[in-house]
Amino acid sequence: MLAHESPRNIKLTLAYDGYDFAGWQVQPDRPTIQGTLVSVIEQITGETTLPQGSGRTDAGVHALAQVATVAIHSPIPLLNFRKALNHVLPRAIRVLNAEEAPADFHARKSAHAKTYRYRIYRGEICAPFLARYVYHHPYPLDQEAMAKAAEVVAGEHDFTSFAAVDLDARKENAEINNIRTIYSSSWQCEGEELVYTVRGNGFLHHMVRNLVGTFLMIGKGGLTSKDLKRILDLRDRSAAAATAPASGLYLVRVEY
Amino acid sequence: MLAHESPRNIKLTLAYDGYDFAGWQVQPDRPTIQGTLVSVIEQITGETTLPQGSGRTDAGVHALAQVATVAIHSPIPLLNFRKALNHVLPRAIRVLNAEEAPADFHARKSAHAKTYRYRIYRGEICAPFLARYVYHHPYPLDQEAMAKAAEVVAGEHDFTSFAAVDLDARKENAEINNIRTIYSSSWQCEGEELVYTVRGNGFLHHMVRNLVGTFLMIGKGGLTSKDLKRILDLRDRSAAAATAPASGLYLVRVEY
């Protein structure tokens, strides 16, 4: 059957609770989203294939709609494939959708925009049912200053100051540079939560958590929006504040 | 100081995500809510004391407001005690309130009524962020039949058919009997969830999960409300349906 000689390119949309995983990328002897998918797809199709994500998420980071492509030869119908995946996968990972994609569709390279959210819980006591899914920060924050700071990062900037200094990131970014365009960047109050939503054409490793860490420093009064502009200009990771905890971060949407 | 010779009786109100715990009751080499409290209270006060709960919750069962009493000699102010507990406890256990109780107050014996809830998620795909906190049942259910059945258990009944057959339960119930009064028992639709709420003067071991298991069997058409009456009359655990999974169950309130 000629049609099955080159593999199908299946686009999966995934939600996951990243709390108990060591991130997206496969690692020896540690539970990862990609690694779990590899073994579950092998169990279902008998094929060994490495799903390609729209990007890595770090240990503890969640996804509402991560996108990954997987090359399989099995003629399994899409609906059956999705159901079989959800039957075998741990409940912390769900396949929301499976669809046929053109051969040249690539989860990372074809992406035009991504949206992330970061949830901060402000109440004094964080319900145990929420603890895995937010960053608990019950101390005072100047929300107006944080809102202003969020606006500063909108537009095209060199985000070197907010990129993780690690070899992986360097390798990944070598092809292009650290310039990214942020289409929107804002904080919203949602009940007892303060939520940051950012949409851009791409994000460097740790970029959202590093931005949130600096916004928090601004909220505490340790820095101002002016400092944020200066930090961006410095293009030096050590100029910005600490990385915010992983548990509050969600990959919300990938646009193609 | 004479006042500190007999211990203080502190009433704690606790919320917990029971998913990763082997239940309330202390067990060797397994994480339990009571066992975690013992070691955390010892760390804070230097005193070894066994908190007494309003009742045991099983492995995987959650609590929105479990009540426990703890006898300590430390003069630590209540607010500091609560804050210290929440600082040291894992985030899956929170102390919502700490108050001074009379010496004769007993978390279990003084309780007049308890309320439990059981959450069933009906949607086809259960979000990973919900999976630990509901029972996922995406198949058809006759909700009207379940609503009718819920009414049958209201009132005073011998619930032997819905009590776990185990030595612990026998021991615990030896003092009295298996007759309990249910003040209210009903199902509500809440978005994509079907939620059972039951309030009574006491509950036998596994009683709520055994009732829900039988309501589910009625919802699937395998039994009727008439069968439920017959099962109650039989006073035989083997007559009722299987125990519903722990993840959907919450101890909601204890009344004194």
Amino acid at B32: T
| Residue A108 in domain | no
Instruction: Give pLDDT, residue B174.
Output: 54
pLDDT band for B165, please (50, 70, 90 cuts).
confident
| A104 in catalytic set | no
When pLDDT is averaged across residues A73-90 and rounded to a whole number, the result is 97
Q: Are residues A89 and A137 in the same domain?
A: no
B155 three-class SS: strand
Q: Does A91 touch chain B (CB under 8 A)?
A: yes
Band of residue A2 on the pLDDT scale cut at 50, 70, 90? very low
Quick one: pLDDT band at residue A1, thresholds 50, 70, 90?
Answer: very low
Whether B144 and B204 share a structural domain: yes
Give contacts of B 137-166 with A, CB under 8 A: none
C-beta separation of B53 from B36 below 8 A? no
Residue type, A209: R
B133/A contact by beta carbon, under 8 A: yes
Same domain, A14 and A63: yes
Measured at the alpha carbon of residue B240, what is the angle toward residues B236 and B243, in degrees to the nearest 5? Answer: 115
pLDDT at B65 (0 to 100): 98
| pLDDT above 60: residue B175 | no
List the single residue in B17, B126, B128 with the smallest CB-CB distance to A16: B128
One domain, residues B57 and B181? no
CATH number at residue A19: 3.30.70.580
**In the predicted model, what is the mean pLDDT of residues A112-136?**
97
Q: Which residue type is seen at B71?
A: A
Q: How confident is the model at residue A171 (pLDDT cuts 50, 70, 90)?
A: low
CATH of the domain at A251: 3.30.70.660
Q: Is A33 on the interface with B (CB under 8 A)?
A: no
Number of folded domains in chain B? 2
E strands, A131-248, where?
Answer: 135-136, 155-158, 179-190, 193-200
In a domain, B107, yes or no: no
3-state class of A121 per DSSP? Answer: strand
Task: Report DSSP state, residue B191.
Answer: T
Nearest CA distance, B79 vs chain A (angstrom) = 13
Contacts of A17 in chain B (CB under 8 A): 128-129, 131
Quote the pTM value: 0.92
